Structure 1
């Protein structure tokens, strides 16, 4: 739709260019005609030279005016935001036409009709209101000229004739203005059909993506920030299943209205997916976005929705994720991904909360040598690629990081070991980059060749990160997170305490999340079933001492975890 609109505006600008150029050409022809008429019988070269200089000045002035006008047309966005440029242009043309009238006989001038050009262009460009103002102003000017300069007589013939011309001005502006208005309303209606979500009245997904892309580009030009909020309704599927989609649609409408009144006119609210909304906040910082998101969360929590008492939390709530460009992302795609990551954390940890995006690898950048910054950026990109190939891997990584943070605190690890464990949790599956998407998502058991691919991912992951000196202490976790306590794991078949301690920690966390997650080939276990499995495999697959601590962490926090 935007392409069609831009083409239409270009065509209109082309028409206006022709009309205004024609006006200036008429003026130029009139000036030449007036000059040659004045100097037709004059033999003095000096007078002729003065006349030529006069014409040259007129020509140069008209060319300069037209050049300035063409420049203003090229900057149509500026014109739309600054109507005074259009006013200056109108006043300039009126001044030129007035000068022509005064030099060609004032009230006797035959060229009063030139005002019709400016009436037409103004009406097309600015609508009926501005067009009528110019039409009435032009009419008043020519009639005042007749009253002031025409000789006294019982009947002012010039005034009578120019009343008809004034009527032409107004009758041209009025219907043309209505046509422009009707066309504008029709275009607006088409834009609404294309750009808006029919149910909620907010913008749709397509417009959201287009606007975000242009907003990020504009942000680069003016060196400002763009904040993004993702909103997802908690347990909305449960609500729809319980009350039906009509009731669910009412919820979406109400939340859409709450979001629209929570932001300014410069901000964009859109329905991003089924029960997911997005808000683009141009020129707003992350802190400002957090405040807006928290206010939205509270407003929705305090709004009564029919049947909300039967929701799992006894209320209908939303989770929100916040990110900001360029601080947390290098382009619009990364901004979307980072806000989605933050939303995921909000939904996984308690729901009904606001989370800001925190990148583990971005934190790492501040602690590594400058020559390795690009490598870290590449690792981040690789992880994004893996996540796009396998949604489970993405969600799994996020949960493993969350579990690892809690377990690190319970184990009372040093700050250095905590960081190492978190980095290892984030990057432990990076070696999967070489595994085809079809293998990662295969529902049937893997064949020998495919199983070899999977078993090679720890070594592949280690090869990717080993070039970064600052990650040397992380590579053992990546390499050995599939070792078993009894020595039957891979790739090194290490046993007991020969397995690095943090790798043993990560193995338990990694396995617990795998057991409690739906996989293409495996139905998820409940937390209680997974805990029993950890106990059963203590001493064979897992370090029994770490298992005890981890089970304590899960039991203390399980009410705060929500499967997504």
Structure 2
């Protein structure tokens, strides 16, 4: 139940509780009237008995009232149990009213109208069906009482009168129940308009975030996992450009329908934005989420979409990223970020695939002594701060790590070198934490003083990690990734083979991403122009062998990256 629904139910319960309390108070008055006040108290013994009985009865009524009131303000009880308790409560009230009517004269009682209380409250709480059930039970009790108490009369005046009263009960339950139904349908329609995406009939961005927070709270309370799938349609801009936006909308509709029919009951499908969808999978482990995502990916790939033959891979396909709470993320913000990172990897590695989130920090923690775990966690915080300060750095680190993984395989690095290259790629700009935001984001070329400050970031980065013995092999990458093959780099003007090999590898990757990214003082180059620049600087700025291997990597993935 969402926050709006919970608030609404609480208000209804408060109103109904007041009505039930009033009916109990009226019942107490009737008890006293017919058990005690109507009797002839002729001696002290009888007076004492009546007094004690009165006190016990009063205490019982107060306890009952207190119980009903406490029930009305319970917030944490499961919704399905609330319904059961309401039903039990209604039958208790019917029993109380039945006893009162018997005490006050059975068929001659003037208090048969008490049943109206429970008919009204049950209809408001649970709708027309529940109200009519309570009405039928109440009518059956009243009419049976009339027949049983006067079995041999030819004209049963009480029965005739109670037929009219029964009609009043039904006329209360039916119109009131119908009004409650109309009101619920109206609210559902408004909620649908507010929460649903009009094009795809999935939940919209706002409803997605509300649902995610609610589901995480539920999973946290029950110590259960929650998985998320981020879905992005591959080459969707290309499809729109070639077939038109109206046809693109038809693709979105079709995929929205496919996702809605593919998920399980309780899963939540939302259009996150543009051509991106997100799916919340409550109580789902990562391995199960992968099976679900892979099934959806294959269904999208097998489904025919008009004009898909003009797509780069000849089909409409989708890339998917998965993350899981609490194993991979500690809150909703981290879950979204990590699922998005996994999607980024899926898009990077040739698209039309499912990727799960993996953190470089998790890999680092496996290789680092226990006493330095806090330092590694601090590194993540520092990189997040740098990303917030430097618009260029945001996304740059992730891309450099991706390129480094691919180039490591192309260079056939051993596991140790591959690991150090990836760690170095992740941390190579960590020293920028000491550089001001104004210098990092300056749109004009830096002056001499500012340039000297910026050049210190490699030295500063080594200082940050020097206390961690397990990262000593990474320090040269951070220190020397701005050295040049011809000896004109910084900070130590190293030349050729004097520059550590992995630092030379990182230099090529880092420079390529710098050229193909929008920077404050440099316009983004195309991949072809960046390749030409790598070749032009081969042997001066870059190691020629590494350049050629990296160009092979880029040509293999050139048509699939970031489109």
The interval holding the TM-score normalised by the smaller chain is: over 0.9
Residues 267 and 279 of structure 2 are in contact (CA less than 8 Å); yes or no, is this contact kept in structure 1? yes
Superposition deviation, residue 135 in structure 1: 1.1
Matches within 5 A, 1:80-159: 80-82=79-81, 83-150=83-150, 152-159=152-159
- Distance across 2 between alignment mates of 1:148 and 1:435: 94
* Equivalence for 2:58: 59
- Distance across 1 between alignment mates of 2:51 and 2:453: 87
- Distance across 2 between alignment mates of 1:551 and 1:41: 109
* Equivalence for 2:161: 161
Superposition deviation, residue 233 in structure 1: 1.0
* Equivalence for 1:15: 15
Instruction: Output one character per residue of 1:345-389: Cα deviation in whole Å (capped at 9) or x when no partner.
Output: 111111111111011111211232333223322322332343455
Superposition deviation, residue 167 in structure 1: 1.4
- Distance across 2 between alignment mates of 1:314 and 1:38: 92
CA distance change for structure 1 residues 40 and 443 in 2, over 3 Å: closer, same or farther?
A: farther
* Equivalence for 2:26: 26
Matches within 5 A, 1:386-465: 386-390=386-390, 392-435=392-435, 440-448=440-448, 450-465=450-465
**Larger mean Cα displacement after TM superposition, 357-366 or 378-387:** 378-387
Residues 259 and 269 of structure 1 are in contact (CA less than 8 Å); yes or no, is this contact kept in structure 2? yes
Superposition deviation, residue 437 in structure 1: 5.4
Provide structure 2 residue ranges, at least 5 long, that are not aligned to the other structure: none
* Equivalence for 1:74: 73
Matches within 5 A, 1:291-440: 291-390=291-390, 392-435=392-435, 440=440
Give the number of aligned pairs: 562
Q: Describe the SS at the equivalent of 1:328.
A: coil
Superposition deviation, residue 452 in structure 1: 4.3
Superposition deviation, residue 417 in structure 1: 1.8
CA distance change for structure 1 residues 389 and 163 in 2, over 3 Å: closer, same or farther?
A: farther
CA distance change for structure 1 residues 451 and 100 in 2, over 3 Å: closer, same or farther?
A: farther
- Distance across 2 between alignment mates of 1:471 and 1:79: 50
Residues 196 and 202 of structure 1 are in contact (CA less than 8 Å); yes or no, is this contact kept in structure 2? yes
- Distance across 1 between alignment mates of 2:49 and 2:15: 36
Q: Describe the SS at the equivalent of 1:131.
A: helix
Q: Describe the SS at the equivalent of 1:188.
A: helix
Residues 10 and 73 of structure 2 are in contact (CA less than 8 Å); yes or no, is this contact kept in structure 1? no
Superposition deviation, residue 151 in structure 1: 5.5
- Distance across 1 between alignment mates of 2:490 and 2:358: 32
Superposition deviation, residue 38 in structure 1: 4.3
Give the TM-score of the pair, scaled to structure 2.
0.93
Residues 2 and 214 of structure 2 are in contact (CA less than 8 Å); yes or no, is this contact kept in structure 1? no
Residues 150 and 158 of structure 1 are in contact (CA less than 8 Å); yes or no, is this contact kept in structure 2? no
- Distance across 2 between alignment mates of 1:318 and 1:388: 30
- Distance across 1 between alignment mates of 2:441 and 2:344: 21
Residues 127 and 181 of structure 2 are in contact (CA less than 8 Å); yes or no, is this contact kept in structure 1? yes
* Equivalence for 1:481: 481
Instruction: Output one character per residue of 1:488-509: Cα deviation in whole Å (capped at 9) or x when no partner.
Output: 2223333333322211111111
Instruction: Output one character per residue of 1:153-175: Cα deviation in whole Å (capped at 9) or x when no partner.
Output: 22111111211211111111111
Instruction: Output one character per residue of 1:35-91: Cα deviation in whole Å (capped at 9) or x when no partner.
Output: 32344333242x444434433443343334344433433345646323322211111
Instruction: Output one character per residue of 1:208-266: Cα deviation in whole Å (capped at 9) or x when no partner.
Output: 11111122222221111010000011111122222222211111111111111111221
Superposition deviation, residue 436 in structure 1: 5.4
Instruction: Output one character per residue of 1:12-55: Cα deviation in whole Å (capped at 9) or x when no partner.
Output: 2221111010011111111111232344333242x444434433
Instruction: Output one character per residue of 1:381-407: Cα deviation in whole Å (capped at 9) or x when no partner.
Output: 332343455564343222221221232
Q: Describe the SS at the equivalent of 2:412.
A: coil
* Equivalence for 1:469: 469
CA distance change for structure 1 residues 275 and 386 in 2, over 3 Å: closer, same or farther?
A: farther
Superposition deviation, residue 5 in structure 1: 4.5
Instruction: Output one character per residue of 1:530-564: Cα deviation in whole Å (capped at 9) or x when no partner.
Output: 33322322232112333343334444x33574234
* Equivalence for 2:183: 183
Superposition deviation, residue 439 in structure 1: 5.0
Matches within 5 A, 1:205-224: 205-224=205-224
CA distance change for structure 1 residues 278 and 436 in 2, over 3 Å: closer, same or farther?
A: farther
Instruction: Output one character per residue of 1:110-138: Cα deviation in whole Å (capped at 9) or x when no partner.
Output: 22111111001001000111111111211
1:171 and 2:179 matched: no
Residues 39 and 48 of structure 1 are in contact (CA less than 8 Å); yes or no, is this contact kept in structure 2? no
CA distance change for structure 1 residues 327 and 38 in 2, over 3 Å: closer, same or farther?
A: same
Instruction: Output one character per residue of 1:289-318: Cα deviation in whole Å (capped at 9) or x when no partner.
Output: 111111111111111111111112111111
CA distance change for structure 1 residues 272 and 106 in 2, over 3 Å: closer, same or farther?
A: same
CA distance change for structure 1 residues 349 and 437 in 2, over 3 Å: closer, same or farther?
A: farther
- Distance across 1 between alignment mates of 2:114 and 2:316: 66
Query: CA RMSD of the aligned region, Å?
Result: 2.4
Q: Describe the SS at the equivalent of 1:322.
A: strand
- Distance across 2 between alignment mates of 1:304 and 1:11: 50
Provide structure 1 residue ranges, at least 5 long, that are not aligned to the other structure: none
Residues 320 and 342 of structure 1 are in contact (CA less than 8 Å); yes or no, is this contact kept in structure 2? yes
CA distance change for structure 1 residues 488 and 48 in 2, over 3 Å: closer, same or farther?
A: farther
Q: Describe the SS at the equivalent of 1:281.
A: strand
- Distance across 2 between alignment mates of 1:284 and 1:317: 24
Give the TM-score of the pair, scaled to structure 1.
0.93
CA distance change for structure 1 residues 440 and 145 in 2, over 3 Å: closer, same or farther?
A: farther
Residues 204 and 271 of structure 2 are in contact (CA less than 8 Å); yes or no, is this contact kept in structure 1? yes
